[in-house]
Amino acid sequence: MRAALIVQYGAPDFATYLRARYGEGASLERLAKDTGLGRDRLRVAMADAAIEIRGIGANTALGKRSRALKAEEAAARRVGADNLRAWLTERRAEGWTLSQLGTAVGHSGHWVSWRLNTDPHLGPESLDAHTVPAFVQ
């Protein structure tokens, strides 16, 4: 499995593969799944490759974007909407407060305000480290 990953990724060896993927923001959980290693064995392999493991709570742009997308998807499911921004915009036009909208989607009024002000033409894939608000980070 590891040999196939190395070849597929184009890395010369497993240590280089781990350094590259982790440097790109892959989590330990993601690397463990991809490599088939348990957490302890993965940590040993990373130590052998001289990779310093990020501290708990350290964020990467990839992690921030992933959490923002998951939050968006979960909020849309809560209200049965295919397009959360459209749903929020319609309810806001009907007179719903930010607090009411937040309660409905399971987030704060601040999150709802941020979501309403995100460029609708870019969609959820536009969520990146530059558009994710500080409270999500």
DSSP string for 53-118: PPPTT---HHHHHHHHHHHHHHHHHHHT-SSHHHHHHHHHHTT--HHHHHHHHTS-HHHHHHHHTS
76-94 average pLDDT score: 93
User: Which pLDDT belongs to residue 100?
Assistant: 93
User: Which pLDDT belongs to residue 125?
Assistant: 46
pLDDT value at 126 more than 50 = no
pLDDT digits (tens, 9 = 90+) for 86-118: 999 999 999 999 999 989 998 888 889 988 887
User: Which pLDDT belongs to residue 27?
Assistant: 85
Of the chain, the end-to-end C-alpha distance in Å amounts to: 34
Dist CA 49 CA 124 (whole Å): 36
The amino acid that residue 63 corresponds to is: G
Per domain, the residue ranges of the chain are 2-48, 61-126
Token pair for residue 120?
């609708």
pLDDT digits (tens, 9 = 90+) for 29-75: 889 998 999 989 999 999 999 998 887 666 667 667 777 788 888 89
